[in-house]
Structure 1
Amino acid sequence: MRHILEAIQSLTSSGGSATAVSADFEALALPESYRAVTLQKEETDMFAGLDSRDKDPRKSLHVQDVPVPELGPGEALVAVMASSVNYNTVWSSIFEPIPTFHFLERYGRLSPLAERHDLPYHVIGSDLAGVVLRTGPGVNAWRPGDEVVAHCLSVELESSDGHNDTML
């Protein structure tokens, strides 16, 4: 991981000019796994019968190493440098209004490519700032080395135009 961090730090090297370029990021060896905060599918009923106010997210959140996923069309692999806890994180962690695993199972039935999202764990988080490490087929607006922000209002567009209407 140190080599990825060093490449990212070179983006803001002294003098403000980046020393790493897209090809440098494409050439970086990726780890087999990364550390993530997860929910476990087997625990979706752990708060059954409790009022929302009595559900403690600290009991359902786990820190574990998970495999780096293979990229599909329209996807990007981002080295997350900052993330946040928002209402999506809290709802997911208390399995309300329904467990996110239900959505991931339904999505997984759409195609073999989507099936890889139906896992026994769910990496939480919907807001991040980071640097693109790889892009999948069909991603044209971003390249490895680009600094990006993703949030819960992200849509399937590669342009900021997709964010003009927050009701999307």
Structure 2
Amino acid sequence: MKHLREALLAADRTPADIAALPLPESYRAMVLRAEDASMFEGIPSHEKDPRKSLHLDQVPVPELGPGEALVAVMASSVNYNTVWSSIFEPVPTFAFLQRYGRTSDLARRHDLPYHVIGSDLAGVVLRTGPGVNAWKPGD
């Protein structure tokens, strides 16, 4: 990851430089695990502690699909989506992701035993999938 950070912060970097960077096989992420989805059953919402369901894990870098971008996250935040997901309310995301995974071969990669959380971020585009025209590596 150090080589990525240094290259992304270099003043003279070009989109071609970023596109040529080797990607790691995995990265650290805050995840929810499917095996924990029922851990708060019967507990009132205000007593559910997100710290009990969040895990810092090493996960594989996903394959890019059409219309997607791979972003090196430089900053992120916790918002209501993160909190709701972490207490599995209003419903755990795993059932949705499992159903979505049955819709196509490409969608199947979302049906995993973990869910990387987060919906707010700032970072640098590393790669873009087919059909992405508004963004390029380095943006």
Which category describes the TM-score, using the shorter chain as reference length? over 0.9
- How far the C-alpha of 1:107 sits from its partner, in A, is 1.0
Identity of aligned residues (%): 74
1:31-110 → structure 2 map (5 Å cutoff): 31-110=24-103
1:44-64 C-alpha deviation (Å, 9 max, x unpaired): 000010000111000000001
Confirm whether residue 126 of structure 1 aligns to residue 111 of structure 2: no
Q: 4+ runs of 1 displaced by more than 6 Å?
A: none
1:12-61 C-alpha deviation (Å, 9 max, x unpaired): x3xxxxx0011001110000000000000011000010000111000000
Which amino acid is the alignment partner of residue 2 of structure 1? Answer: K
Which amino acid is the alignment partner of residue 106 of structure 2? Answer: L
Q: Secondary structure at the match of 1:63?
A: strand
The separation in 2 between residues aligned to 1:54 and 1:2, in whole angstroms, is: 39
The separation in 2 between residues aligned to 1:78 and 1:106, in whole angstroms, is: 26
Match 2:132 to one of 139, 157, 162: 139
- How far the C-alpha of 1:3 sits from its partner, in A, is 1.2
Partner of 1:30: 23
Which amino acid is the alignment partner of residue 64 of structure 1? Answer: D
Number of paired residues?
A: 139
Q: Secondary structure at the match of 1:116?
A: helix
The separation in 2 between residues aligned to 1:45 and 1:145, in whole angstroms, is: 41
The separation in 1 between residues aligned to 2:18 and 2:73, in whole angstroms, is: 14
The separation in 2 between residues aligned to 1:111 and 1:64, in whole angstroms, is: 27
The separation in 1 between residues aligned to 2:99 and 2:73, in whole angstroms, is: 27
1:65-91 C-alpha deviation (Å, 9 max, x unpaired): 000011011110000000000000000
TM score, norm. by length of structure 2? 0.98
The separation in 2 between residues aligned to 1:57 and 1:26, in whole angstroms, is: 36
| Greater RCO structure (CA 8 Å; 6+ sep) | 2
- How far the C-alpha of 1:7 sits from its partner, in A, is 1.4
Q: Secondary structure at the match of 2:110?
A: coil
1:113-135 C-alpha deviation (Å, 9 max, x unpaired): 00100100000000000000000
Which amino acid is the alignment partner of residue 7 of structure 1? Answer: A
Q: Which runs of 5+ in 2 are unaligned?
A: none
